[in-house]
Structure 1
Amino acid sequence: MSTTQSDRLRELLEPLVASQGLDLEEIAVDSVGRKRVLRVVVDSDTGADLDRIADVSRALSAKLDETDAMGSGEYTLEVGTPGAERSLTEHRHFVRATHRLVRFQLHEGGELVARILGVDDEGLDVEVPGVKGRKATTRRIAFGDIDKARVQVEFNRKDDGGDTASGNNSKNNSMNTTEEEEA
């Protein structure tokens, strides 16, 4: 059974990322001209600030230096967070996006833009904004009914005085910082 370089890197780096209190969301190895770039995306329920990104970047760099996982050629390591308009693919992603506006592509029923109110093991409760003076409505969406989901950036959202954690979550989810290091 053949495994890709990304799979081998995930196996090597995931325990190290987890030891830093973070989830390894994505690994990608791309060629940029003659150089290779290893992009590692990390996150947690409380977000990842610059200090945590720098710490995990140093730890990953040290681990990669002591192995031949990237081969002998030159590469750049970039460590960052998923960014503002992240795709939601795992249960934990939906939990982290609670109180955020999300664009859903549904198996049946087309597209829906709604705010996640709550998440459980079977699906989510969402609030669909009212249109043209109508009141917002709530709706239940099963995970099995979702083809794609992506967080939407909101520039003009009025703070409703609700959960203060949602404000922190929005701030942390919109962070997309990269710590680069030559290896």
Structure 2
Amino acid sequence: MTAKPADTEQEAQRLTTVLEKEVESHGLVLEEVSVRASGKQMIVQVIVDKADGTQSVILDELGEVTTTISNALDQDAKYASVDPYELEVSSPGLSRPLTLNRHWIRAKNRMVKFNLADGTKLRGRLTEVADTEVVISVHHEPAKKGMKIKVDEPKTFALEDIRKAVVDPEINFDDALFENIDIEDLEG
């Protein structure tokens, strides 16, 4: 028996109502619930996030909220009796669009890629977040390899003018971290 998309959407909405208070009891926000069929079982995916601040959900918090969600599902008539299910609980990944003010606050001081309503695509460091606007220092790629990136002075962008935005991960290697590593130990 395969679940229809409309059925899984309705179930996701129902579970959102069932699980919201359970997640909030951990000081977290229920970001999203999705349900999909996989063979004869259902996969319930739950995404949780911090309610505010710049810190991400840590592994211990994920473990605790997963236990609470699992217990709530075990008490739910649909999941307790008949339907086998798999539960996946996670925090939002870097690809999550920045759509809510708290998403922008969490991304403060990070690089973001964003598209303006006029189609302009930009990349820059998010330095300030207000209720209706953000301040970003736009970075321009160099014209030629080896040239430095040009960084504009911080500029204010109205959130209503930003069509899409995501965190742009930076990969910085700190050579000092590797100074005390003995290569022979790694080859062992």
TM-score relative to the length of structure 1: 0.78
Q: Secondary structure at the match of 1:153?
A: coil
- Which structure 2 residue ranges, 5 or more long, are not aligned? 1-8, 143-147, 175-188
Superposition map of 1:87-166 within 5 A: 87-132=97-142, 133=148, 134-156=150-172
| Alpha carbons of structure 1 residues 95 and 69: separation in structure 2 relative to 1, 3 Å | farther
Please state how far the C-alpha of 1:34 moved relative to its aligned partner: 2.5
- Which structure 1 residue ranges, 5 or more long, are not aligned? 159-183
Q: Secondary structure at the match of 1:105?
A: strand
Q: Would you say the 8 A contact 2:135–2:155 is kept in 1? A: yes
Q: Would you say the 8 A contact 2:116–2:164 is kept in 1? A: yes
Larger relative contact order, structure 1 or 2 (CA cutoff 8 Å, min sep 6): 1
Please state how far the C-alpha of 1:137 moved relative to its aligned partner: 2.6
Superposition map of 1:37-76 within 5 A: 37-44=43-50, 45=53, 46-70=55-79, 72-76=82-86
Q: Alpha carbon RMSD of aligned pairs, Å?
A: 2.1
Report whether the alignment pairs 1:21 with 2:27: yes
Further displaced range: 64-73 or 92-101: 64-73
Further displaced range: 15-24 or 31-40: 31-40
Partner of 2:17: 11
Whole-angstrom CA distance in 1 between matches of 2:97 and 2:19: 22
Q: Secondary structure at the match of 1:20?
A: coil
Please state how far the C-alpha of 1:23 moved relative to its aligned partner: 1.1
Please state how far the C-alpha of 1:136 moved relative to its aligned partner: 2.9
Q: Secondary structure at the match of 1:63?
A: helix
Whole-angstrom CA distance in 2 between matches of 1:135 and 1:147: 22
Please state how far the C-alpha of 1:130 moved relative to its aligned partner: 4.3
Whole-angstrom CA distance in 1 between matches of 2:61 and 2:73: 18
| Alpha carbons of structure 1 residues 157 and 93: separation in structure 2 relative to 1, 3 Å | farther
**Residue 96 of structure 1 aligns to which amino acid in structure 2?**
R
More helix, by proportion = 2
Whole-angstrom CA distance in 1 between matches of 2:101 and 2:84: 36
Q: Would you say the 8 A contact 2:94–2:166 is kept in 1? A: no
Whole-angstrom CA distance in 2 between matches of 1:157 and 1:121: 34
Superposition map of 1:74-85 within 5 A: 74-85=84-95
Further displaced range: 51-60 or 24-33: 24-33
Q: Secondary structure at the match of 2:154?
A: strand
